[in-house]
Amino acid sequence: DTGVSQNPRHKITKRGQNVTFRCDPISEHNRLYWYRQTLGQGPEFLTYFQNEAQLEKSRLLSDRFSAERPKGSFSTLEIQRTEQGDSAMYLCAISLRAYEQYFGPGTRLTVT
Amino acid sequence: GESVGLHLPTLSVQEGDNSIINCAYSNSASDYFIWYKQESGKGPQFIIDIRSNMDKRQGQRVTVLLNKTVKHLSLQIAATQPGDSAVYFCAETDYSGNTPLVFGKGTRLSVIA
């Protein structure tokens, strides 16, 4: 158990719909990261938070993507107007120390 | 851009044998490396890490070797078990945590019973 839960675990949506994923660390950690993973590839960084502040965003994070971390605890990742290319596993990770990252189970998104 | 890559995409080993998974990295500024194990339908699981001021680190049945001269990492698994079957990723970053993890494509390890 890495201390990170993600919901939902699976999401199937039609192209053009909006989806929102949630990441809940069991206890508070300063840093929270979002990654995207497509089949057969390693996770790719999307964005990360230090407490409530979103400190870095990858160029993979298009304008249709938005992430929040109100109160510095849980985080949400929203994708607007989903496209088939958004189909992937979305992973949340937390830092216990600045350099170590522990991943949640992920949310599998399928856009039809 | 700079990235982490793996030499072998698949590896099959007999149960009880030792496994070696290799990884090359290209960012000379990286000073912290992590091996993750990922089972089907799950998130990556931290296995072992190493800082650039070390060339070897041992855990339980696992050893990571770092060769900074040739920018090469390896993960050695002793007495491989069926439960070790998974995809293994190496990842690089800097020890400050200010740089996101950069992952390679992964090596699938299949253990033959």
Sign (positive/negative) of CA torsion B53, A98, A65, B39? Answer: positive
Q: What is the mean pLDDT of residues A23-28?
A: 84
A4 vs B contacts (CB less than 8 Å): 43
Comparing B61 with B5, the larger pLDDT belongs to B61
List beta partners, residue A68: A76
Q: What is the nearest CA distance from A41 to chain B, expressed in angstroms?
A: 5
Q: How many helices (H) and strands (E) does chain B have?
A: 0, 11
- Report how far apart, in Å, the C-alpha atoms of B61 and of each of B19, B20, B21, B57, B83 are: 10, 12, 14, 11, 13
The verdict on a CB contact (< 8 Å) between B42 and A105 is yes
- Residue B105: per-residue pLDDT: 75
Indicate the average pLDDT of chain B.
Answer: 89
Closest CA to A32 of A9, A13, A17, A52: A52
List beta partners, residue A22: A7, A76
Looking at the complex, does the CB of residue A25 fall below 8 Å from at least one CB of chain B? no
The verdict on a CB contact (< 8 Å) between B102 and A104 is no
The verdict on a CB contact (< 8 Å) between B44 and A33 is no
How confident is residue B16, by pLDDT bands cut at 50, 70 and 90? Answer: very high
Neighbours of B73 (CB within 10 A): 24
How confident is residue A95, by pLDDT bands cut at 50, 70 and 90? Answer: confident
How confident is residue A30, by pLDDT bands cut at 50, 70 and 90? Answer: confident
Torsion of CA B70, B73, B79, B83, to 10 degrees: -150
- Residue A98: per-residue pLDDT: 61
How confident is residue B40, by pLDDT bands cut at 50, 70 and 90? Answer: confident
B101 vs A contacts (CB less than 8 Å): 33, 35, 43, 45, 93, 101
